[in-house]
Every structure is written in C-alpha cells, then in structure tokens.
Amino acid sequence: MDPSEPKTGKADAATCHVESENSGSRASSENTFCIGSDHFSELDPLMDLSALTDEKNGIIEKTVIGVLYRLPVAMMIIENNGKIRYVNRKFINVLGYSLDDIPTTEEWFKVAFPQIGLSCETITQWHDLLNRMFSPARDKEDIELQIQCKNMDLRHFHLSFTDLGHMGVIALQDISVSKDLENQVKYREKQQAAVASIGAQAICADDIDDLMQFTVEKVASTLGVEFCSVLEKLPQGEFLLRWGTGWEDWCIGAVIIPDESYTHTGYTAREKEPVIINDLFTETRFKGHSLLHAHDVTSGITMMIGNAERLFGILAVYSTNTRNFTEDDTLFLQEITNILIETVEMHMTMRQLQLFRELINRSNDLVLIIDGVTGHVKYANEKVFSYLGPEGYSRLQEEPHLSTLIQSVDHGQILERLNVSNAFTSEDVFTSHDNIIYDLEINFTRVDDNERKYILAIARDITRKKTAELELKSYAQQLHDSNKMKDIFTDIISHDLLNPASNIKGFTELLLENETDEQKLWMLSCIASNNEKLINIMETTSIFSRLDSMSSLEFNDIDLLPLCKSSIEMFQHQISQKGLDVVLEIEGPYIAKAHPVIQHAFCNLISNAIKYSSNGERIIVGIEGTNDMWKIIVTDFGEGIADPKKPVIFDRFSRATSGNTVGKGLGLSIVKRIIELHTGNVGVDDNPCGKGSVFWFTVHKGMDQSVFQ
C-alpha cells in the first residue's frame, strides 16, 4: 500500500470486505461491480486483455475487477440512476469512504461537500456531470473539485470520466499538494500585485490621506480580512485611528489608543516587532483595546510603520475568524509599511523643501545659487525676477551668469576670494529693468555638497541705507558746525561778555565804597545786584553748554569730604545772613571716581537748600556708602516739593516754586548732567521729618580707599 494513502480503520475494513468478495468468486454481491463483456473495449486503456480473449467471461470479469481494485487511481462507478456501484481500494484509502458510507450520489454529496451541501451549483454541476457522462456525445471534460474526505480533510481532486453506457467510471486524482502550492503562489502573486499598486499609488500620491485610505482597503481585500487600519502616533505618544476600513464610521479619526502594553498597538510599539494574535480570547500577553472586542475581533497582526527611533504609526489587520497569519502575510505587511514610511518621509521632506522655497521666495533679499565651477546661476528667487523684469529674466535664462545681473562681478575673483575665506561681503550697484540704480550689499558663501561646489549669493538692497547714511553724515556735519557755533557763543559769553560784566562789578563796588548819597547808593546797589545775576546766568549757561556737548569725562580718585566742606564755606555769607544751622554728618575720606566739576553739584544742592529754607532752619549734609557707590544727601526743612513736580525739576528751566525765590531753573539740570556723566543717579524725596526735601546724588567709589586714610 502507498504510505501516503490514508490508513483509516474504516478504509481497511472496506478493503477487507471487497477482498473477501473478490476471493469468493461471486461478482453479483451488493458492493461489487459486475461488468458485462460488451464493455471491454471501454477498459482497454487500463489493461492489456488481448491474452485473455479465449478465457471465460467470469475469469475476465474477475481479472477486470482485480485490476480496478488495484489501480493506483481512486475510482468510483456510478449508475445513471444515481446509485454508486463501486469504489476501489485507492478511493477508500484516499477519501476514506466505502460504499457503505456513500451508497448513492445523494449521500455522496452530503458527506463530500458539507459546506456547500446540496447547493444548486453543486447539484447542477453533478447533474451536468452525470448527464454528460451518459450522453452519447461523450465529450467528457475533466473537472477539478474540492472534496471533504471522511477524516474531514478538504482535498483537491482532478476528476475524469468514462462512459460505460448505463454506468460511468470516475477516476479521482488527488492534486491537493500541487493545488496548495498553486494557491500559495496565487496568493503571493495577489499580494505582490497589491504591493505594486500601493507602490504606484505612493509614487504619484499628492495627498497622504488618499494613499493611506487606499492602502488599508487594499490590504484588507488582499488578506481577506474585515478590518485594517493605520494608527498614527500622536506627539503625546498615543495612537489615533486615523485611516481604516471595516470599523464603524465614528471610529475613524476619533478612537485614540493609549500607548499602554495592555493594547495590541501599545504592545507592538514596545516590542518593536510584528505581533500576531491567533485568538484574542485566549491571548495572555495583553487584553486588547475595547475597540477590538466591540468589533468581535478574533485574530490580527500589527506592523510598525517606521522604526523605534522614528515611529510614524502602526499598521493593523484584524479578522473576526480564527486566522493563522503566515510568514508570507508578515512579509507582505512589511513591504507595505516600507512603502508607507518612505512615502511619509518623502512627503515630509517635500513639505520642508516647499516651505524652504517659499521662505526664500518671500525673502526681501535677492537669493542666487551659483555653480561653483561653471559660474552658472542654478537658482534665483522671485525677488531677483522682480528686479530684473521679463527682459532681464530672459537674458538671465540665455546667459545664466551673475555678471548678467551685475556687470562688474567677476566669477574668477569671487572664487579666488572664497578660496581664502568661506564667505565675504561686497557692495555693488545694479540697474533694474526700469533703469533705477540700486546699491546692493552681496554676501557670497561657499557651499560644498560632496563633490559639487556652489556659491550662495544673497544680495540686499541697501539703497535706502546708503541714502540714510549720506543724510546722517550731512546731519553730523551740520551738528558739528552748530556745536562749533555754540562753542564760539559760549566763548563769547565767557570772554567777551563776562569780562565787561566783571569790570562793571569792580567799578560798582568801588563806587559803592566811596558814595555817600543815599539815592545814588541805592541805585548803585541795584546795579551791583543785577550785574551779579547777569554774571551768574552767564556762568551757569557757559557751564551747561560745555557739559551738554561733552560725551564723557576723565575721572580721578577724589576725596569728596574737602569738596563738600569747601562748597559749604562758599555759601558761609548767605548761611550767616539767614541764621541757618548747617550740620555736617560726614567724617571721610570718601574716595570717588570723579571729575572736579562735581563740586558744582555739591554747590547747587547746598545753595538750593539755603535758598529754599526759611531763616534759622537746619540743613543736614551727609554722605553714605553703599556697595560701590557714595550717596551724597542734602536735607532741608524748607518748603518742600509737591509730588507732581518732583520728576520735572531736573529738566532745564523747570521751576516748582511760585514764590519770590530767585532762580532760572537751570541749576538742577546741570546737577543731573554732571551726575549722568559720572554714570550715577540723582533724585529728590520728601524729608521724612514731615517738612522739607532730601536731595541726593550718587557717584562711584574710587579704587583705592586706603591712600587717603
């Protein structure tokens, strides 16, 4: 017996049954086919019976039956009334059915085609078969059918027929192995076709959404499953069911699957490899997202789109039936995910390039990329064309050189300079299509891309900047001239006006000493006081003018203590006249980085304190040290300054007093300017005692405090 034939107990029993009848010489038994001598010719292809022609029919019949029984082809003989008359040993071995199991074609249909049962198609097919078998035309075409064997195996058979008049012989050849192989090849071919069509779609895909939807549908139909989806990885790590087929409509674009290992998707992302579910109900690695259970999913497979470092998402395929996903299926999905990730990355790169191109085009600068070797302009942004106009544009196309744009530019020289340093900037002029001359600042940068060398030229229109520069120069000159004028005026004040005023002062003092007439004395004292004011104004204006035009001062280490004391002494006369009590809360030394002009600041604050104090009041002068500054404080108990006036009294010609106190509102602005030049601060607060003001300014401490100890 052929070792590959099924060895079921039943088959063996049937074989024994037939053999016992065979040996019993009666061919008329129920399960034994009795064949008439007029049908010999029909058996010729199977055996050489010529040597037996002179034998008795019985011997021949026995021999024929013996031959049929031992034939290596499964065989059944059917009467045209639907009764099955004979099945040989090979039939019983391969299909497992004996005549007891299938006495009629009807019984045979029931057991051999349970899935389709007695479907119209099968019955029609068989009736057609039987009709043809017994038709006189005898054009018996072979057919292929899938038959369920007694052991429940589904096997493919090749069936060929021989008409014996009122009976027919069917030879069944088991072609399951070759059929399986053929089906496998067909299935793989189908997958390859799907890969090819998805690949083709990917190449011309403008819209990634269309490609993804096409892919999920194609994959589902190719694998013969109900569900397929692409789950996009979100920035927070979860997965969005972005594209899919088979799922309820509301799920698409809405279901978010957490990146947790209890979900099939999350588990795949963690395992970093395809994960196959054979049966979700017996799955132990994860329980699966409720989406799968809600859709009665049984089997499935997932595949990463991308890799662990750059994961775009997960491709998932699910079936409600138990499905064994094969290596071919895994390979197929791998090919699909490769196409998807490449397409997604290509789209991202294209989008970035597009963005980059748009940014360059929107630039206000003229951007050109030039071939480092030939000097040809490879790329020019839209700004270049807006400057060139249509004519210049076609000129640049005909002669794609930078010199077409800017005539004085020499490619050789640019290369030479770029060999020395990777970038340089030069200025040039460019005449536009409407004959406007532009000043350009061009930055040349060498860009080496593997073997190829490029020059990036970015030209900026600096025409307005140039014009502004010229205007600025002219203003600077005017300013310089007017400063000179101011200096001359200041000099005139100091020398040409102060000298006569000083002469008037000297003469008036002389006359005052010698005059006895009361009337004349009064007039002379008026002249003296007004002249004094005049001198004061001229001196102040002269100081301020000089300070105003100064941008910096030269500093030395100066002790503020003697400076402060001598300033108070200068006003001793006024102090005595008003009977003021000036308290010095200073010990010193106070070494500051200062210029001698700082004494004006001391004098001004002390003179104001005297001026704005009533007779007999107190003035306190103190110096405090903070980290690296000295704070000079002059406190008075005079009329004080209202809050709204405090910020403005340091401005030129600003006065807070409406009373009779004499002043021009220049003193504090000079203090402010002096302190600004010393990079210190100046300010005023209310006297915390409730009456009067606290004026203060700060200066930087000097380097060496000990020298003056």
| Beta carbon nearer to ligand ADP, 278 or 657 | 657
Least Cα distance to 163 among 142, 141, 139, 134 occurs for: 134
Is residue 456 within a helix (H) or strand (E), and if so which, with residue range?
strand 452-461
**Identity at 52, one-letter amino acid code:** L
Using the contact rule CB under 6 A, the part of the chain among 63-71, 175-183, 379-387, 660-668 near ligand ADP is 660-668
Verify binding: residue 92, ligand ADP, rule CB under 6 A. no
- The only residue of 86, 332, 438, 612 in contact with ligand ADP, by rule CB under 6 A: 612
Give least dist CB 445 to ligand ADP, A.
57
Using the contact rule CB under 6 A, the part of the chain among 201-209, 310-318, 579-587, 649-657 near ligand ADP is 649-657
- The only residue of 265, 608, 635, 698 in contact with ligand ADP, by rule CB under 6 A: 608
DSSP 3-state percent helix, strand, coil across the chain (nearest 5): 45, 20, 30
Q: Which residues contact 537 (CB under 8 A, 6 or more apart)?
A: 664
| Beta carbon nearer to ligand ADP, 153 or 685 | 685
Tokens of 237: 């790590």
Instruction: Please state, as a whole number, how many other Cβ atoms lie within 10 Å of the Cβ of residue 487.
Output: 13
d(CA 194, CA 464): 62
| Beta carbon nearer to ligand ADP, 300 or 667 | 667
Strand partners of residue 455: 370, 446
Verify binding: residue 668, ligand ADP, rule CB under 6 A. yes
| Beta carbon nearer to ligand ADP, 343 or 545 | 545
- The only residue of 667, 677, 682, 697 in contact with ligand ADP, by rule CB under 6 A: 667
| Beta carbon nearer to ligand ADP, 182 or 685 | 685
- For residue 500, cis peptide bond before it (omega within 30 degrees of 0): no
Give least dist CB 578 to ligand ADP, A.
13
Verify binding: residue 638, ligand ADP, rule CB under 6 A. yes
Give least dist CB 563 to ligand ADP, A.
19
Give least dist CB 569 to ligand ADP, A.
19
Give least dist CB 533 to ligand ADP, A.
11
Verify binding: residue 693, ligand ADP, rule CB under 6 A. yes
d(CA 314, CA 274): 10
Give least dist CB 601 to ligand ADP, A.
11
Q: What are phi and psi of 297, to 5 degrees?
A: -70, 140
Residue with tokens 């910096």: 552
Using the contact rule CB under 6 A, the part of the chain among 106-114, 472-480, 493-501, 648-656 near ligand ADP is 648-656
**Contact, 667 vs 607, CB < 8 A?**
yes
d(CA 673, CA 651): 10
- The only residue of 665, 683, 686, 700 in contact with ligand ADP, by rule CB under 6 A: 665
**Helix/strand/coil for 73:** coil
Strand partners of residue 423: 445
- The only residue of 258, 588, 663, 683 in contact with ligand ADP, by rule CB under 6 A: 663
d(CA 382, CA 608): 68
**Helix/strand/coil for 632:** strand
| Beta carbon nearer to ligand ADP, 277 or 620 | 620
**Contact, 560 vs 592, CB < 8 A?**
yes
| Beta carbon nearer to ligand ADP, 589 or 638 | 638
| Beta carbon nearer to ligand ADP, 244 or 640 | 640
**Helix/strand/coil for 402:** helix
Verify binding: residue 636, ligand ADP, rule CB under 6 A. yes
Residue with tokens 């007695």: 118
Q: What DSSP assignment string belongs to 91-151?
A: HHHHH---TTT-SBHHHHHHHH-TTTTT-HHHHHHHHHHHHHHHSTT-----EEEEEE-TT
Handedness of CA 376, 381, 386, 387 (dihedral sign): negative
| Beta carbon nearer to ligand ADP, 167 or 649 | 649
Q: Which residues contact 538 (CB under 8 A, 6 or more apart)?
A: 493, 494, 497, 498, 501
| Beta carbon nearer to ligand ADP, 137 or 642 | 642
Beta strands per DSSP E along 517-617: 556-559, 581-585, 591-594
| Region class of 110: left (phi > 0), else alpha (psi between -120 and 50), else beta | alpha
- The only residue of 649, 677, 694, 699 in contact with ligand ADP, by rule CB under 6 A: 649
Give least dist CB 684 to ligand ADP, A.
8
| Beta carbon nearer to ligand ADP, 334 or 607 | 607
| Beta carbon nearer to ligand ADP, 229 or 693 | 693
Total residues binding ligand ADP (CB under 6 A) = 20
Verify binding: residue 666, ligand ADP, rule CB under 6 A. yes
Q: Which residues contact 112 (CB under 8 A, 6 or more apart)?
A: 95, 97, 102, 147, 148
d(CA 295, CA 289): 11
Residue with the closest Cβ to ligand ADP?
663
Verify binding: residue 656, ligand ADP, rule CB under 6 A. yes
Give least dist CB 535 to ligand ADP, A.
15
Verify binding: residue 639, ligand ADP, rule CB under 6 A. yes
Using the contact rule CB under 6 A, the part of the chain among 72-80, 114-122, 235-243, 635-643 near ligand ADP is 635-643
Using the contact rule CB under 6 A, the part of the chain among 221-229, 318-326, 565-573, 638-646 near ligand ADP is 638-646
Give least dist CB 518 to ligand ADP, A.
32
- The only residue of 92, 159, 194, 641 in contact with ligand ADP, by rule CB under 6 A: 641
Give the strands of the sheet with 618-625, arranged side by side: 581-585, 618-625, 629-636, 693-700, 682-686
| Beta carbon nearer to ligand ADP, 160 or 657 | 657
Verify binding: residue 683, ligand ADP, rule CB under 6 A. no
d(CA 503, CA 205): 100
Verify binding: residue 646, ligand ADP, rule CB under 6 A. no
Give least dist CB 654 to ligand ADP, A.
6
Give least dist CB 649 to ligand ADP, A.
4
Give least dist CB 663 to ligand ADP, A.
2
Binding site residues, ligand ADP, CB under 6 A: 604, 608-609, 612, 636, 638-639, 641, 649, 655-657, 663-669, 693
